[in-house]
Amino acid sequence: MISYQHYLVLSAILFAIGVIGVLTRRNAIIIFMSIEVMLNAVNLTFVALSNHLHSLDGQIFVFFVMTVAAAEVAVGLALIVVIFRLRETVNVDEINLMKW
């Protein structure tokens, strides 16, 4: 029998994979995709607990998370396009003007 803990463990694994992607990859687009993986891991947690607790609030929240994710991707990819136009790179190690 599959309990909600199975889903929570899966979502923890997916979130950790997303964290590894953000911390180890230097391509801004791959970092964005890793953030999407993390958002989806959290969505899976919401839906699993919403199913377990017989409540729909988690699914409503997932709906809003998707809205914000879509907005974030649109603005973020526009930023990446502008940065590429200015600097000819999307390597985050070379985009360090505001780092220190």
Partner 1 sequence: MTPLLFYAFAALSIISALLIITHRHPVYSALFLILTFFALAVLYVLLNAQFIAAVHVVVYAGAIMVLFLFVIMLLNLRRETLAVQPNWVWKGVGGALAVLLLIEVGYVLNVARLPGGIGPYSPEVLAQKGNTELIGELLFTRYVFPFEVASVVLLVAIVGAIVLSKRKLS
- Read out DSSP for 18-66? HHHHHHH--BHHHHHHHHHHHHHHHHHHHHHHHHHTT-SHHHHHHHHHH
CB of 99 to partner 1, least distance (A): 14
Residues 41-80, one symbol each (x = binds partner 1 by CB under 8 A, - = not), give --xx--xxxxxxxxxxx-xx-xxx-xxxxxxxxxx-xxxx
87 forms part of the interface with partner 1 (CB under 8 A): no
Task: Name residue 91's beta-bridge partners.
Answer: 27
98 forms part of the interface with partner 1 (CB under 8 A): no
- 4-24 and 28-52 are packed helices; what angle lies between their axes, rounded to 10 degrees? 170
Task: Name residue 27's beta-bridge partners.
Answer: 91
35 forms part of the interface with partner 1 (CB under 8 A): no
Instruction: Name the site residues for partner 1 (rule: CB under 8 A).
Output: 1-2, 5-10, 12-27, 29-30, 32-34, 36-37, 40, 43-44, 47-57, 59-60, 62-64, 66-75, 77-82, 84, 89-91
